[in-house]
Structure 1
């Protein structure tokens, strides 16, 4: 489960980078980075 959270976080970060810098899709793309950070934090908290 922990590995899955990291994979999802990486995919979301890549999607955020593409959306923020390649395509100008507006402010909604920043939700992806927030979700990715939450997924990473959940992975860290569950490991402890």
Structure 2
């Protein structure tokens, strides 16, 4: 699961950079940033839930 999250983070970061680099694709940069932040939050929540469930 961690691999999928890392891959998604890289893809969202690339989309954000491309979106901000090209004038007409500013919307793509904004969406990339939103998805990046959402994926980070999702990763932290899943990780915290996994730690909580693994304790006896």
Alignment TM class, shorter chain as reference: 0.7 to 0.9
Q: Under a length normalisation based on structure 2, what TM-score does the superposition of the two structures give? A: 0.67
Q: Under a length normalisation based on structure 1, what TM-score does the superposition of the two structures give? A: 0.75
Q: Which has the larger radius of gyration?
A: 2
Residue deviations 1:2-43 (CA, integer Å, cap 9, x gap): 22012111211121112202x112442201110111011111
Alignment RMSD (CA, Å): 1.4
* Structure with bigger RCO (C-alpha 8 Å, 6+ apart): 1
Provide structure 1 residue ranges, at least 5 long, that are not aligned to the other structure. none
Runs of 4+ in 1 over 3 A off after TM superposition: none
